[in-house]
Amino acid sequence: MRTLLTSLFLAGLLLVTRTGVADPVKLKLTPRTPEQMSAFYEARGFPPQMIELLSHQCFITVGIHNTGKDIIWLDLANWRFTTADGKQLHRPHRDDWKQKWQAMGVPLAKQSTFRWTLLPEALDYQPDEAEGGNIILPRVKGPITLYAEFASGADKRGPLIKVIHKNLRCAENPE
Amino acid sequence: MTCRSLPLLAVLFALLVGATPLSADNALPKGLRNYTPGPAPNFRLTDIDGESFNLKDARGGWVFVHFWASWCGPCRKEMPAVERMTTLLADDAVTVVLVNTAEDEDTVFTFLAGVAPEMNSLLDRDGSVTEAWQPRGLPATYLVDPQGIIRYQALGGRPWDQPLYLDFLRNLPR
């Protein structure tokens, strides 16, 4: 398993990682290949039908670091992903996944691990706090643009922080 | 000094005294924050040796509750510091409790053997205990006071073996 994890790590390094800074938030987006994600879940004993379903998705690991001095608020309801032709990509909510896994009879431990690998739907980021996780989108060929908004301030009435990431792409397996 | 200044001085004094807890907050090591006090959700779990632990039984002393998983990069980075901290706090009244989230014994055993061989961990086999605590992410650390109330929360991984953190843990009010 260690060899597998090392391979995953190295494969991750080879992928293009995109970092955007819109003070006071640092956003790091790392697309993962289907092979990477399948290997990750296989190594943890996930059921084949769960892995099969996930292998057709577009995984992007998101790292968010609050580099400012005030609280910032992640709320994925305020994130939009669009394709080159302006079509909005629907990002399934974590509850949607939960329903799928329950319907498949996936063991609770695997459901739990899956949930913890996801980016939270909502979280207050304290100054200097960094948390991350995966976002799962439908797999598309072309570029994706992310429009993300974060509220700021303890009462969410601070300046609205807007981040735009262009040319994000789902990672493909190596030829 | 006139008599009229005295009430003002009294107000200033009261403000300074009232500011004492704030000063204590400022002394929190980086990444630790006060937690809106609330009872720690109880759990009874077994560790990789099959030994049972009930959080309630640890009342009377502070408990360092640490949630982790082997697949989590920051957990891997933090665990050696947790191990050193545990050794350095051996004579202090802080119980260190590791809770692995939803992994099996073999995975936990292999991970700890390579990263922190002196540590043992409780196994939250189906992840339900972790879910009840609702951490912000993994790793997640909480400090539970002798009455069973969560008082502090750490944001992400922390260098627990550093003097600032050790001093803070050693000086927790009994």
pLDDT value for A22: 59
* Chain A residues touching residue B72 (CB < 8 angstroms): 116
pLDDT band at B3, cuts 50/70/90? Answer: very low
Task: Please indicate, yes or no, if residue A175 is contained in any of the structural domains.
Answer: no
A55: CATH: 2.60.40
* pLDDT above 60 for A128: yes
* pLDDT above 80 for B154: yes
Q: Of the spans B24-28, B89-93, B139-143, which averages the highest pLDDT?
A: B139-143
- Contacts across the A-B interface (CB distance below 8 Å): 62
Q: Which of B72, B102, B107 sits opposite A112 (nearest CB)?
A: B102
pLDDT value for A175: 83
Q: Which of B45, B99, B126 to mutate against chain A (most A CBs within 10 Å)?
A: B126
A45 vs B: CB within 8 A? yes
Q: How far is CA B162 from the centre of its chain?
A: 15
Mean pLDDT of B43-58: 98
The mean-pLDDT minimum among A84-93, B91-100, B160-169 falls in B91-100
* pLDDT above 50 for B173: yes
Residue A154 gets the label, from left (phi > 0), alpha (psi -120 to 50) or beta, of: alpha
pLDDT value for B93: 77
Give chain A's domain count.
Answer: 1
* pLDDT above 90 for B4: no
pLDDT value for B8: 46
Task: Please indicate, yes or no, if residue A107 is contained in any of the structural domains.
Answer: yes
Share of residues in chain A with pLDDT > 70 (%)? 87
Share of residues in chain B with pLDDT > 70 (%)? 85
Residue A129 gets the label, from left (phi > 0), alpha (psi -120 to 50) or beta, of: beta
pLDDT value for B30: 93
Phi, then psi, of B27 in degrees rounded to 5: -85, -5
* pLDDT above 90 for B172: yes
Give the pair of three-digit tokens for residue B78: 């933090």
Q: Residue A29's closest CA among A143, A156, A175?
A: A143
Mean pLDDT of B125-145: 96
B31 vs A: CB within 8 A? yes
B44 vs A: CB within 8 A? no
DSSP character at residue B127 = S
Q: Tell me whether residues A113 and B72 touch, CB distance under 8 A.
A: no
- List, in order of start, the domains of chain B with CATH numbers: 31-170 (3.40.30.10)
Q: Tell me whether residues B31 and A128 touch, CB distance under 8 A.
A: yes
Task: Please indicate, yes or no, if residue A173 is contained in any of the structural domains.
Answer: no
pLDDT band at B24, cuts 50/70/90? Answer: very low
Task: Please indicate, yes or no, if residue A174 is contained in any of the structural domains.
Answer: no
Say if CB B169 and CB B87 are below 8 A apart.
no
Domain span holding position A107? 15-168
